Structure 1
Amino acid sequence: MPNKPKAFDIVRAHIEERILDGSLDIGDTLAAERELATEFGVSRGAVREAIRALEAQGVVESSVGAGATGGTRIIRARTRALTRLLRLHVALAGGRLREVVELRVALERSSATLAAASVTPEALETMRTLLAEMRGEGVDIETFNRLDTDFHVAIARAADNTLVTDLTIAVRESLRAPILVAEQGLSSGEYADFRGMLCEQHEGIFAALEAGDGEDAAQRIETHIRAAYSALPAMKTASE
C-alpha cells in the first residue's frame, strides 16, 4: 500500500502544478497561509514547510509586510537553486566528480559557441577587465579563483540563452571550492606555472570570442578545462 503523502507535500505539489499549467507565473502572489491551510485542510505549519521547500527550489520568495510588499511571490531564482543542488552533489560525488567535469565541458562548449555569436562590446569589456586583473601583481590564490570563476560566468552570461547560462554558472560555482582547495595544494612554483597557463588560455578564449569564432572558442574552452583539471593533482585524483 503506497505511503500517504505528507501534508506539506500536498500543498507543494498543488503549487508546483499551478506553475506548470500556467495558472501561476513570475510575480504572482500566493494566497495567504491561512487560506491555503483551509483550502487543503492542513495546518499553517504544513503550508510554511511547503513554502520553505519551494524557496529552496528557487521558485518562490517570501517577504514580511502588508499589501503588495508582503506575502509569497513566484520568482525565478534558477541559478541559485541549481548551484545549491550541484554544490551538494560535488561534495558527495567522490569518484564521480569526473561526471561533473564532463557536464561542465559540455555546457561551456555550448555557452562559448553561443557567446561568440551574440557577445556585446560591454560583455567583452567585462572579460577584458577580468583578464587584466588576473594578470595583476599580488593577486592571491583566492582572489584569482574568484576572478577565474567570474570570467567563465561572464562568458555564460554573454551566451544569451538563460537555461544554458544558469546551468553553466551553477556548475562552475559548484566547483569553485574544490578547485580552490586543489590550487592551495600546489607549491608556489607549481601555482605560478598553473596561473600563467590559465591566463594564456583565457586570453585565447577571449580572442576567439572577440573574433566571433564559436568553433574555436568552444575547442579552446574544452582544452582549457581539461588542462586545468589535469594540472591539479587533487582534482585529478577525485575524478578517477
Structure 2
Amino acid sequence: MPETTRAWRVVLEKIERDLLDGTLKPGDRLAPERELAATLSVGRSSVREALRVLEVMGLIRTGTGSGPTSGAIIIATPRGGLSQLLRLQVAAHGFPIADVVQTRLILEDWTAGQLAQADGLDLADVHTTLEAMADPALSIEEFLALDARFHLGLSEATGNVIVAATMGGLRTAIEGYVREGSHRIPDWPVTAAHLVQEHTDILAAIEAGDAERARALVASHITGYYAAAGFGDA
C-alpha cells in the first residue's frame, strides 16, 4: 500500500480489529514499530502517528528504551481518553447550547435516579463542593467552577465511567454557556444563593432515596437556569 497521510488509519483499524476479536487485550504489548510497518505495508512514521493518537485516546502507554516497560502496551483508561476527545470536539465545533442542555438532562436525570437508588453512597466530596459554593465572596468564575465540579462529582459517584467521562468532556461547554448566561442575570448574588439551595435540595432527595423527586429537581435546576439566563426553552 502506498504511503499516504491517511496510512496511520490502517494501523488504528488493525489494532481495533485485534481488540474486538480478542487478539489484543489490556496488558498486552503491541508489536514493534518496524514489525507493524512491514506487516501493514505502511511507513514507520505512520505507525508512530497512530501510536500517538492511541496514547491521547488513553488506549496505550508507550515507553522508550528496552526492557519490560518499553514499547506500547494496551491499557484501560477510557475515561481520560473519551473526556479529552469530547473536549476537543466541543472546542472545535462549538456544539449548540440547546444540544448540550438536552444531553445534560439525559445524563443527569439518569445520574440522580441511580444515586437515589444506590446503597452505601459516598458523597463526601460533593458535600464539600456544595459547602464551598455557599461562600458569598466567591467570584462568578469561582462559583461556576464549583458548580461544574458538583455536577461532575455526582456523575462520578455513580461509578459509570462512560457517563462520568461524557460529563467531564462536556464540562467546558457547560461552564461556557452557564458563564455566558450569568452576565445576563441582573442580580447574580441572589441567583447564586438560589442555585446553592437547588443543589442542596437535589442532594437531600438523593440521600433520602427519593429518585422521582431527585430527577424532577435536577430537570428543574437545569432548565430553570437555561431559561433565566435568556437562552429560551431547552
Q: CA deviation at 1:172?
A: 3.5
Aligned to 2:224: 227
Aligned partners of 1:84 and 1:174 also within 8 Å: no
Consecutive unaligned residues of structure 2, counting only runs of 5 or more, are: none
Aligned partners of 2:90 and 2:170 also within 8 Å: no
Amino acid at match of 2:66: A
Q: What is the aligned-residue RMSD (CA, Å)?
A: 2.5
* Distance (whole Å) between structure 2 residues aligned to residue 128 and residue 227 of structure 1: 22
Amino acid at match of 1:37: A
Aligned to 1:153: 152
Superposed CA deviations along residues 85-116 of structure 1, whole A, max 9, x for unmatched, are 4334444346x321121011011100111112
Superposed CA deviations along residues 55-84 of structure 1, whole A, max 9, x for unmatched, are 343322323343232322223333333333
Aligned to 1:19: 19
Superposed CA deviations along residues 180-223 of structure 1, whole A, max 9, x for unmatched, are 3433x246x52212211210110010101111112211111111
Aligned partners of 1:54 and 1:60 also within 8 Å: yes
Q: CA deviation at 1:139?
A: 1.4
More helix by share: 1
Q: CA deviation at 1:40?
A: 1.5
Q: Per the alignment, do residues 45 and 89 of structure 1 end up closer, same or farther by CA in structure 2, a change over 3 Å counting?
A: closer
TM-score normalised to structure 2 length: 0.86
Aligned to 2:50: 50
Aligned to 1:32: 32
Q: Per the alignment, do residues 90 and 41 of structure 1 end up closer, same or farther by CA in structure 2, a change over 3 Å counting?
A: closer
Q: Per the alignment, do residues 176 and 25 of structure 1 end up closer, same or farther by CA in structure 2, a change over 3 Å counting?
A: farther
Matches within 5 A, 1:49-68: 49-68=49-68
Aligned to 1:103: 103
* Distance (whole Å) between structure 2 residues aligned to residue 141 and residue 65 of structure 1: 48
Q: CA deviation at 1:150?
A: 1.2
Calculate percent identity across the aligned residue pairs: 33
Q: CA deviation at 1:20?
A: 1.7
Aligned to 1:167: 166
Matches within 5 A, 1:194-205: 194-205=191-202
Q: Per the alignment, do residues 45 and 126 of structure 1 end up closer, same or farther by CA in structure 2, a change over 3 Å counting?
A: same
Which stretch shifts more, 192-201 or 49-58?
49-58
Q: Per the alignment, do residues 167 and 89 of structure 1 end up closer, same or farther by CA in structure 2, a change over 3 Å counting?
A: same
Aligned to 2:139: 140
Aligned to 1:116: 116
Aligned to 1:208: 205
SS of equivalent to 1:118: coil
Q: CA deviation at 1:173?
A: 4.4
TM-score normalised to structure 1 length: 0.84
Amino acid at match of 1:142: E
Amino acid at match of 1:124: L
Aligned partners of 1:58 and 1:75 also within 8 Å: yes
What is the aligned residue count? 230
Amino acid at match of 2:176: A
